């Protein structure tokens, strides 16, 4: 059974958590956390690298010890260190780490001081008022824990789009190789590029003799068969992701794809339009009476109700049907429209590759330009640059640009926006740059008014170019900070600066609805990878998906411009 990158990352994170609960060496703990992040964000599957006999120690942060553990996981499907740690600690203690607001340090305190080993014991301790007495907790923390446990009980598991992609694409390839299979498409929220996915819907067209259903329910990553029939089946993968497979005849393929892709509200609206015309639309086709008149393609389904084809990412019933009726559907941005990337890091701060390596990787991705935007000095955890270090890097970029052919490096910085709205570096340092990304990395808890004013003051700075990851959220980890985003968008328009859509699948920030709002206000969005290694440019596909959900077209995206046009635009803000 192949171990996907997400599986390896989960194991390493759990090892780090258990080591921290045990009070192990912080450097050892950090090594596992870094490895989990690096492997989890890697665009290439590690098991495929091992099949090619690649040396894993070439990956950033992976030494011989971690490499051997990765091989153990991939080849044996287990990790002896994790098994040992499970024997040394209560088996359910890692469930406590899934409660929002509880990290390993707090779990350690709860375990050692109150003998809390399970979520149920945690709930009783909070309900009985025993947690507030612990050092570093208090009554407010106890109340938050109680609420978090209650919320956890009602939570359904969802997977980030990049994690779901590892399982979806592997299963799609597996099914496509089954004899007799003609077409395979992953539909549902995955095809709509939702930022998280609850389950996978897969549609297949296959010959009657194809063993696709039997192969599906015996897929090596399927640990439970929930249902099985001649044309539909459901399995649970070992990662906890449910997959539903439906085999449909070719003449119904478009209707089924339409039915299993669109959000419920979109599909209902289309069916109501059909009913007004005396038609019936379902997963088998478009019918007038008992006669099928369409359904072999999605375009034929939409044409039956006098609509053009509506891209999957728009099928949320947020105005796309009216736009289709009035022939005003956007021509959505595509990844090959991007001419460059305006947010990347190197070894100079918390990246994993050199300037030259990042430049060559950008070129191989078809970029005309790549902005190098290290962190500024305030972000010490990322080894942020001070003015002297930034000046030295600018000299290196100038020298490298003299050698490079086919790509230009732009000099930039991801500068911290401080609590008072000032920027973390002096004007003399910022003035030498091609662009300045402002970012909030601290004081997330400020009130809506203070957070908004803080960002607006930063945007008034004469060297400010672009607001990076504008809401600060980390999907399923950290909620957006409270900020008046409509006001931020309007002031960005007035100021002539830009907003980022950070394509990192942990962020996907801006939200799709804010992308649409920015488009309406005429504010250009830059779809950036926030690359910390040469592998991270692959994340742009997820940023493009989010941009398409936000109705963005090529002309709404800053980094679809040529280098000369880009310079004209960003120089207006400097």
Q: What is the CATH number of domain 252-325?
A: 3.30.210.10
pLDDT of residue 81: 93
Can you list the pairs that 90-98 forms with residues at least 24 positions away whose Cβ atoms lie under 8 Å? 90/117, 90/118, 92/117, 92/118, 92/119, 93/18, 93/21, 93/117, 93/118, 94/14, 94/17, 94/18, 95/119, 96/122, 97/17, 98/152
CA angle 294, 297, 303 (to 5 degrees): 55
Which of 79-93, 170-184, 235-249, 409-423 has the lowest average pLDDT? 79-93
3-state helix, strand and coil shares in percent for the chain, rounded to the nearest 5: 45, 15, 35
pLDDT of residue 2: 62
CA distance 246 to 360: 43
pLDDT of residue 86: 85
Distances (CA, A) of 277 to 101, 289, 304: 53, 12, 9
Inform me whether the pLDDT recorded for 91 exceeds 90: no
Summarize the confidence of residues 338-350 as an average pLDDT.
96
Write out pLDDT tens, residues 171-230.
999 999 999 999 999 999 999 999 999 999 999 999 999 999 999 999 999 999 999 999
- The two counts, helices (H) then strands (E), for the chain are 24, 17
pLDDT of residue 572: 62
Q: How confident is the model at residue 369 (pLDDT cuts 50, 70, 90)?
A: very high
Paired with 411 in beta bridges are 372
R_g over Cα of the chain? 26
Q: How confident is the model at residue 154 (pLDDT cuts 50, 70, 90)?
A: low
Inform me whether the pLDDT recorded for 296 exceeds 60: yes
Strand, helix or coil at 394?
Answer: helix
pLDDT of residue 453: 97
Q: Quick one: which H or E segment has residue 294? A: strand 291-294
Same CATH topology for 252-325 and 335-571?
Answer: no
pLDDT of residue 573: 53
Summarize the confidence of residues 505-512 as an average pLDDT.
94
Strand, helix or coil at 288?
Answer: strand
Joined tokens for residue 171 = 């299963």
Evaluate whether 263 touches 192 at the Cβ level (below 8 Å): yes
First to last CA, the chain: 54
CATH architecture of 335-571: Alpha-Beta Barrel (3.20)
Write out pLDDT tens, residues 406-450.
999 999 999 999 999 999 999 999 999 999 999 999 999 999 999
| Arithmetic mean of pLDDT over the chain | 93
Joined tokens for residue 355 = 């300037």
pLDDT of residue 563: 97
Helices (H), 4-155: 5-22, 26-41, 46-51, 64-76, 80-88, 93-96, 104-114, 119-127, 138-153
pLDDT of residue 155: 65
Share of the chain above pLDDT 90, in %: 77
Evaluate whether 350 touches 474 at the Cβ level (below 8 Å): no
CA distance 363 to 356: 11
Going by C-alpha positions, the residue among 38, 124, 20 that lies closest to residue 352 is 38
Q: Quick one: which H or E segment has residue 162? A: helix 161-176
Joined tokens for residue 526 = 């830059």
Q: How confident is the model at residue 379 (pLDDT cuts 50, 70, 90)?
A: confident
Evaluate whether 531 touches 367 at the Cβ level (below 8 Å): no
Going from N- to C-terminal start, the domains of the chain cover: 5-153, 159-247, 252-325, 335-571
Inform me whether the pLDDT recorded for 281 exceeds 80: yes
Summarize the confidence of residues 459-471 as an average pLDDT.
96
2: phi then psi, degrees, rounded to nearest 5: -65, 140
CA distance 459 to 485: 13
| CATH T-level fold of 5-153 | DNA polymerase; domain 1 (1.10.150)
pLDDT of residue 380: 81
Inform me whether the pLDDT recorded for 157 exceeds 90: no
Q: How confident is the model at residue 361 (pLDDT cuts 50, 70, 90)?
A: very high
Joined tokens for residue 125 = 């301790």
Which of 57-71, 402-416, 506-520 has the lowest average pLDDT? 57-71
Distances (CA, A) of 141 to 21, 102, 226: 19, 10, 40
Q: Quick one: which H or E segment has residue 286? A: strand 285-288
Evaluate whether 374 touches 393 at the Cβ level (below 8 Å): yes
Cβ neighbour number for residue 419 with a 10 Å cutoff: 13
Q: What is the CATH number of domain 159-247?
A: 3.30.460.10
Evaluate whether 371 touches 344 at the Cβ level (below 8 Å): yes
DSSP codes, 334-360: -GGG--EES-B--TTTT-SS-HHHHHH
CA distance 118 to 249: 49
Summarize the confidence of residues 463-486 as an average pLDDT.
93
pLDDT of residue 286: 97
pLDDT of residue 272: 94
Share of the chain above pLDDT 70, in %: 98
Strand, helix or coil at 250?
Answer: helix
pLDDT of residue 87: 86
pLDDT of residue 396: 97
Inform me whether the pLDDT recorded for 95 exceeds 70: yes
347: phi then psi, degrees, rounded to nearest 5: -65, -15
């Amino acid at each position: 059974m192949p171990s996907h990158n997400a599986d390896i990352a989960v194991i390493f994170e759990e090892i780090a958590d258990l080591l921290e609960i045990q009070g192990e060496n912080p450097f050892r703990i950090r090594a596992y956390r870094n490895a989990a992040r690096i492997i989890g964000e890697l665009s290439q599957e590690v098991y495929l690298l091992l099949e090619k006999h690649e040396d894993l120690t070439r990956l950033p942060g992976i030494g011989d010890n971690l490499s051997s553990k990765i091989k153990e996981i991939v080849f044996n499907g287990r990790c002896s260190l994790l098994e040992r740690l499970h024997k040394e600690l209560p088996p359910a203690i890692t469930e406590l780490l899934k409660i929002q607001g509880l990290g390993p340090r707090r779990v350690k305190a709860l375990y050692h001081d109150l003998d809390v080993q399970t979520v149920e014991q945690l709930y009783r301790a909070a309900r009985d008022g025993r947690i507030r007495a612990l050092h570093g907790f208090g009554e407010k923390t106890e109340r938050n824990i109680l609420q978090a446990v209650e919320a956890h009980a009602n939570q359904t598991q969802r997977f980030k789009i990049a994690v779901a992609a590892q399982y979806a694409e592997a299963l799609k390839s597996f099914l496509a190789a089954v004899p007799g299979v003609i077409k395979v498409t992953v539909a549902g929220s995955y095809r709509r590029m939702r930022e998280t996915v609850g389950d996978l819907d897969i549609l297949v067209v296959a010959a009657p003799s194809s063993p696709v259903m039997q192969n599906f329910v015996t897929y090596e990553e399927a640990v439970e068969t929930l249902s099985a029939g001649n044309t539909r089946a459901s399995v649970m993968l070992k990662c906890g992701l449910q997959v539903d497979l439906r085999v449909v005849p070719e003449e119904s393929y478009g209707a089924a794809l339409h039915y299993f892709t669109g959000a419920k509200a979109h599909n209902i609206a289309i069916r109501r339009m059909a009913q007004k015309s005396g038609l019936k639309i379902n997963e088998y086709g478009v019918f007038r009476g008992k006669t099928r008149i369409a359904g072999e393609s999605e375009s034929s389904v939409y044409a039956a109700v006098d609509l053009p084809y509506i891209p999957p990412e728009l099928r949320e019933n947020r105005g796309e049907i009216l736009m289709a009726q009035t022939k005003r559907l956007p021509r959505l941005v595509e990844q090959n429209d991007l001419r460059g990337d305006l947010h990347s890091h190197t070894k100079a701060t918390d990246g994993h590759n050199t300037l030259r390596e990042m430049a060559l990787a950008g070129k191989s991705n078809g970029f005309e330009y790549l902005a190098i935007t290290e962190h500024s000095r305030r972000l010490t955890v990322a080894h942020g640059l001070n003015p002297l270090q930034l000046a030295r890097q600018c000299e290196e970029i100038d020298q490298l640009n003299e050698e490079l052919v086919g790509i230009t490096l732009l000099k930039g910085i991801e500068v911290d926006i401080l609590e008072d709205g000032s920027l973390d570096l002096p004007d003399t340092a910022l003035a030498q740059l091609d662009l300045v990304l402002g970012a909030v990395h601290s004081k997330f808890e400020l009130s809506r008014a203070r957070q908004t004013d803080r960002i607006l003051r930063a945007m008034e700075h004469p060297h400010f170019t672009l607001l990076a990851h504008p809401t600060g959220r980390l999907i399923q980890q950290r909620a957006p900070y409270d900020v008046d985003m409509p006001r931020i968008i309007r002031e960005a328009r007035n100021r002539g600066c830009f907003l980022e859509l950070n394509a990192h699948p942990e962020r996907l920030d801006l939200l799709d609805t804010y992308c649409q709002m920015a488009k309406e206000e005429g504010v250009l969005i830059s779809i950036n990878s926030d690359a910390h290694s040469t592998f991270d440019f692959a994340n742009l596909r997820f940023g493009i998906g989010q941009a398409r959900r936000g109705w963005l077209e090529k002309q709404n995206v800053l980094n679809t411009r040529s280098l000369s046009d880009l310079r004209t635009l960003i120089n207006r803000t400097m």
